[in-house]
Structure 1
Amino acid sequence: MLSKTGREICKVVSFGTFIAFLFVSLGMVCSPGPNMIYLISRTISQGRRAGVISLLGVILGFVIYMIATMLGLSALFITVPFVYESVKWVGAVYLLWLAWNAVKPGATSILKPDTLSIEPPKKLFLMGLMTNLLNPKIAILYVSLLPQFVDPARGSVLLQSAALGLTQIVVSFTINLLIVLVASRVAVWFGTRPTWLRVQRWLMASVLTGLAASLAFDRR
């Protein structure tokens, strides 16, 4: 049964569109990337409270992207193809760089506790915000995918964009909060199993490489 929020959203967008976008949002947040890496590393190093504060910064980044999309940022990609192509290839190269850093000689898993400097709440929030704003996967997928689910025939494009954006933000917050809450326990489990740490590194590298390839060969 849909929650009250879900029912309200379905008044703006169709039920089919809502479910489809829900799964797309779930796929986006579950794929390893800079946001996940930062939240896990920060939580393991400084604790859950630091992870939650960092997550709030990440969520503000999503809100900024949602507002930018509502204001027509995706239209810029359509009218100026060079901008879209530039961002797309920069994003693909960045994801490949992350994949290489996961498996290069001497690399460590994001689930292996590392020493990070202890930061105050304000800096944690800003670091979470900047990690998301500078995340090419989110920048490209968010502003290019969301408009594809908007149907002008159903009425206000602004309201539809807001409803879909809210859906993505709720999904991202829920999944990332779960990641923050279990990060320490998962790290302890992996810490006693070095073979699984290596498997996790190669699995993450494979996913990031796949995302880079998909992004590089994507057509607008």
Structure 2
Amino acid sequence: MPPLDSIFAVLFAGILLSLTPGPSMLYVLSRSVGQSRGAGVASAVGLAVGGIVLAVATALGLGQLFMEVPELVIVLKYFGSAYLIWLGAGMIRNAKAEAAVDLKVQSVVRRSYATIVWQGILVELLNPKTVLFFALFLPPFVGMAGDQTAPVDVQSQLLVLGILVPLTAVPSDAMIAFMGGTLTHSINHRRKFRERLAWVGGLILIVIALNLHFGFL
């Protein structure tokens, strides 16, 4: 099992990232407004399942790689921390521009709930950026015993942390599915709040990354 501080850090970072409007949020919103709340929930379920499958596959793949080259655990911890800082800096850099963009609902063709769930799974599995995200986001949170830890333990930690990531998006996706247009209207008319939220989120991600190595919190 990962250390508790790593679990809380992943949960916190995942929630911050899920609050930022992106393709997944727009996909759920379009289904909810364009078809029904049930369709929005189905799309959220599909995204969550796809994220879990991808997280498990990524963790198993990294675990196997770490068994063959154990030194990569430490290397990826530093690359992953740099990636977290890059994400946080990007949120701050783009805060004003992103806040000025309206969330818009795309037209959708009505589908059965089963089809929508399957589409949500494919949206996650076929996104190369999501694969890169898991590969770089998870390693920094692996607890180390001294300078190294057993490869099998690394694999189990990656599995637990990887499954947590898509689960952090479920509350925001569900809220989008149920509130739909009302929430969109509110978000589009609170630009300053969105900008400040991006600043706060970006700074927190940077602090989390630095704390992984300096332990000042």
1:87–1:177 distance in 2 versus 1, CA, 3 Å: closer
* Contact in 2 for aligned 1:70/1:162 (Cα 8 Å): yes
The amino acid across from 2:45 in the alignment is V
Query: Aligned ranges for residues 25-174 of structure 1 at < 5 Å?
Result: 25-32=10-17, 37-46=22-31, 47-71=40-64, 72=66, 75-76=71-72, 78=74, 92-93=85-86, 95-104=88-97, 107-108=100-101, 112-115=103-106, 121=116, 124-129=120-125, 130=127, 131-135=129-133, 138-148=134-144, 157-158=151-152, 160-174=153-167
The amino acid across from 1:39 in the alignment is S
The amino acid across from 1:141 in the alignment is F
The amino acid across from 1:23 in the alignment is F
* Contact in 1 for aligned 2:87/2:205 (Cα 8 Å): no
Q: Give aligned pairs, total.
A: 195
**Shift of residue 90 of structure 1?**
6.1
Question: Where does residue 7 of structure 1 map in the other structure?
Answer: none
Measured in 2, the distance between the counterparts of 1:203 and 1:128 equals 25
**Shift of residue 148 of structure 1?**
2.7
Measured in 1, the distance between the counterparts of 2:15 and 2:94 equals 20
Is residue 200 of structure 1 aligned with residue 194 of structure 2? yes
**Shift of residue 30 of structure 1?**
1.3
1:45–1:201 distance in 2 versus 1, CA, 3 Å: farther
Question: Where does residue 10 of structure 1 map in the other structure?
Answer: none
- Cα deviation digits, residues 139-198 of structure 1 (max 9, x gap): 333122214379988xx641x334433432443344322222212345524624755353
Measured in 1, the distance between the counterparts of 2:211 and 2:148 equals 28
Backbone CA RMSD of aligned residues: 4.2
- Cα deviation digits, residues 38-88 of structure 1 (max 9, x gap): 33221111222122212222222211231133221773264xx6x877776
Residue 138 of structure 2 aligns to a residue whose secondary structure is helix
Measured in 2, the distance between the counterparts of 1:147 and 1:217 equals 13
- Could you tell which deviates more after superposition, 31-40 or 67-76? 31-40
Question: Where does residue 182 of structure 1 map in the other structure?
Answer: 175
Measured in 1, the distance between the counterparts of 2:148 and 2:84 equals 30
**Shift of residue 126 of structure 1?**
3.1
Residue 17 of structure 2 aligns to a residue whose secondary structure is coil
1:171–1:198 distance in 2 versus 1, CA, 3 Å: same
1:87–1:194 distance in 2 versus 1, CA, 3 Å: closer
